[in-house]
Amino acid sequence: MHLAIEQALQERRFFKLICGASYRNTEFVATLAQIFAEAGAQVIDVGARPELVEAARTGIAAAKVPVAGLPLIMVSVGINQDLHFLRVEKDFNRCDDRGLCVNACPHEVFVGGEIRLENCLGCDHCVIACPSKALSLVARDPLGEVQSLLKQCLAAGASALEVHTGDGSLPELKSLLAQLAPLRDQIELLAFSLGAHGQSPAEIAQLAHTIRALAGPDILIQADGKPISGRKGEKSTLPCLELAETLFAQGLDCFVQVSGGTNDLTGPLARRRQSGIHGVGMGSFARKFIDLSPSEPLSEALLQEKIAKARILVESVAMSPLRV
Ligand code: SF4
């Protein structure tokens, strides 16, 4: 494992910015990477596409980073139609142009009659808002051959990998791990995201132990509460902390970082509950917190303002250990 990452995890001060496994807007990925790299994030997590890795690298190169060599760029792959890899699809025969999706979408997908799929995170807010059932979530374009895709991402500058475990199918997981084996020594942080696919906490704990046995102790488990929710308040962040606490109670002995429903209250709540987590990943909420949209022109003054906001969020996790 990368030394500075291991140290941040051991100190329970690890922060990851999640751009979204299915997110494809390269320009905005570069901007987010720059802002959160300068704010002190240790990892920038993007979809597994070389162009997204290059975009993140461009953003990081433009940032004044607090720790040389960080953040790492992480790419995400998934098994079994993992819900992090979905995007919206519109059935024009059902649509009656009421436009409720326009306001429901927090990510500027429905703009002036266009559908900007590169901005879609697959959060499903628009699907819920549409009374005509014209919107649904479908799998993002298939990842293709994982090994060759990862080679391209590693060549482009990625050095961390997250495996989204979907419904936890073991044959698929084993097959993916076999494909990763020849690349393992190039991967400086290997993470597995689990939870939020309808499994019980006991099933998720069992899956975590199986992954730990298959992949070894040198891994990070991401306990996913409510994926892509972006909501504020303690209620939103509680499920991921409870899941992490279950994993620890079941004797899991590797690093655990929470995500899904995480926000500015995750760090303080984790400290109060003595959850024992080693870090926090944030996606939708982080964008909302810095209040920046993909189409907003970014002057130098505005950039500095967004970096200052991002720093508040990163420091809510990294300022002091998540367990005191
Ligand atoms: S609301 Fe979510 S799922 Fe719907 S278009 Fe916007 S980002 Fe995509």
**Residues 185 and 279 both lie in one domain:** yes
Ligand 1: distance of its center to the CA of 36 in Å? 23
Which of helix, strand or coil describes residue 197? coil
CATH number for the domain that contains residue 114: 3.30.70.20
The reported pLDDT for the residue numbered 185 is: 92
**Residues 112 and 36 both lie in one domain:** no
Q: Which residue has the tokens 């306001």?
A: 103
Cβ neighbors of 276 (< 8 A, separation 6 or more) are 244, 245, 248, 256, 322, 323
Whether 152 is in a domain gets the answer yes
Across all residues in the chain, what is the average pLDDT? 90
Whether 324 is in a domain gets the answer no
Q: Is the pLDDT of residue 86 over 80?
A: no
* Mean pLDDT, residues 230-236 taken together: 83
From 98, 117, 139, the end of a domain falls on 139
What's the pLDDT band for 166 if we cut at 50, 70, 90? confident
**Residues 151 and 17 both lie in one domain:** yes
**Residues 77 and 220 both lie in one domain:** yes
CATH number for the domain that contains residue 10: 3.20.20.70
Render pLDDT for 294-317 as a digit per residue (tens, 0 to 9): 888 899 999 999 999 999 999 999
* Mean pLDDT, residues 243-270 taken together: 95
Domain count, the chain: 2
Ligand 1: distance of its center to the CA of 23 in Å? 11
**Residues 94, 153: Cα–Cα separation, whole Å:** 39
Determine which residue's CA is closest to atom 4 belonging to ligand 1.
Answer: 126
- The least confident of 67-76, 92-101, 192-201, 282-291 is 192-201
Domain membership of residue 289 as a residue range:
3-83+141-318
Whether 120 is in a domain gets the answer yes
Whether 104 is in a domain gets the answer yes
Residue among 101, 109, 293 whose CB has most ligand 1 atoms within 8 A, to mutate: 109
**Residues 129 and 151 both lie in one domain:** no
From 105, 123, 139, the end of a domain falls on 139
What's the pLDDT band for 83 if we cut at 50, 70, 90? low
* Mean pLDDT, residues 237-252 taken together: 94
Determine which residue's CA is closest to atom 2 belonging to ligand 1.
Answer: 123
Alpha carbon dihedral 234, 293, 65, 154, in 10-degree steps, equals: 100
Say if residues 208 and 201 touch (Cβ distance below 8 Å).
Answer: no
**Residues 105 and 216 both lie in one domain:** no
Ligand 1: distance of its center to the CA of 78 in Å? 19
**Residues 19 and 103 both lie in one domain:** no
Of the candidates 235, 230, 224, the one whose C-alpha atom is nearest the C-alpha of residue 125 is 230
What's the pLDDT band for 12 if we cut at 50, 70, 90? very high
Determine which residue's CA is closest to atom 1 belonging to ligand 1.
Answer: 105
From 139, 174, 203, the end of a domain falls on 139
Whether 281 is in a domain gets the answer yes
What's the pLDDT band for 57 if we cut at 50, 70, 90? very high
* Mean pLDDT, residues 188-201 taken together: 88
The reported pLDDT for the residue numbered 195 is: 84
Interhelix angle 50-62/26-39, rounded to 10 degrees, is 40
Whether 323 is in a domain gets the answer no
Ligand 1: distance of its center to the CA of 99 in Å? 13
**Residues 229, 306: Cα–Cα separation, whole Å:** 21
What's the pLDDT band for 79 if we cut at 50, 70, 90? confident
Ligand 1: distance of its center to the CA of 293 in Å? 14
